[in-house]
Amino acid sequence: MIHLADPGALETGRFAFAVMALGAVALIATSLVVARRLAGTLAPWAWGGVTFVLSQLVRAPFLALVTGAVTGGAQPDAMSPAWIVLVTAASLSAGIFEEGSRALILATAGRRIRGTGPGVAYGLGHGATEALLLVLTPAIAAIVLVGGILDGSLTVSLPAETAAALDQAATLFATQTVGISLIAILERVLAMALHVILALLVLRIVERGGGRSAIMRRLALPIAIHA
């Protein structure tokens, strides 16, 4: 059974998640408009999205392997050696896989992406896809779950373990505020700006050429910035 100590807090949380979702939609829509204006086409924007998805398809299994090897399935304590290893792996892998994927796409399938305008559009696509998957999708899921909890449609005949998990989720949803949602959107704006800068940097690296080894050496800077 779900114990709702404060349904009013859940309603507030649902509104806050709606603000987050609308902010993410506005950010993604703006990136589309700007990308089209700068590049004359949405192809670079789309390739930016492909780059992010590709990087995560490789990064997720890597992090799962590292987590399993370091923790053995246990939850590490904050600031413990295992926790530090996991945080370091997460940070470095984000830079390595995302910037590596950028270079790979720009040197192969996206080799027509050249110049500042298309480069900016490419970075916007990367950031917009990240916002879609990390902010908009979870916000919509939270809105749906909170609605189901409040009207009781999700709490009927649940197994004990599922009910306990949903109870924990309800407690978390009730802590969401508009302020937290606005901070999340601001973080995405800053992240998108960073992706544009890194996209232009990697684009220049690829344009300079010099072979695979030279490109890999030059990628050290964007990887370090990203990490």
| pLDDT tens-digit map of 11-38 | 999 999 999 999 999 999 999 999 999 9
Question: In the predicted model, is pLDDT for residue 82 greater than 90?
Answer: no
Percent of the chain with pLDDT over 70: 96
pLDDT given for residue 157 in this prediction: 67
| Three-class DSSP labels, 107-170 | HCCCCCCCCHHHHHHHHHHHHHHHHHHHHHHHHHHHHHHHHHHHHCCCCCCCCHHHHHHHHHHH
Structure tokens at 34: 């700007």
In-domain check, residue 111? yes
17 domain residue, yes or no:
yes
Residue 116: per-residue pLDDT: 96
CA distance 198 to 48: 12
User: Is residue 27 situated within a structural domain?
Assistant: yes
Q: How far is CA 95 from CA 43, 57, 194, 226, in A?
A: 24, 14, 12, 5
pTM, two decimals, is 0.90
Q: What is the count of structural domains for the chain?
A: 1
The Cα–Cα gap between 31 and 120 comes to: 10
| Confidence band for 5, pLDDT divided at 50, 70 and 90 | low
Q: What is the pLDDT of residue 138?
A: 95
Does the residue 217 lie in any domain?
yes
Question: Is pLDDT of 190 > 90?
Answer: yes
| Nearest residue to 124 via CA among 184, 53, 34, 226 | 34
Residue ranges making up the domain that contains 115:
7-226
Specify the DSSP class assigned to residue 227.
Answer: -
Residue 1 located in a structural domain:
no
Q: For position 163, what pLDDT does the model report?
A: 72
In a domain, 195, yes or no: yes
User: DSSP of 91-112, one letter per residue?
Assistant: HHHHHHHHHHHHHHHHHTTTTT
The predicted model gives 30-54 an average pLDDT of: 97
- Do the domain assignments include residue 2? no
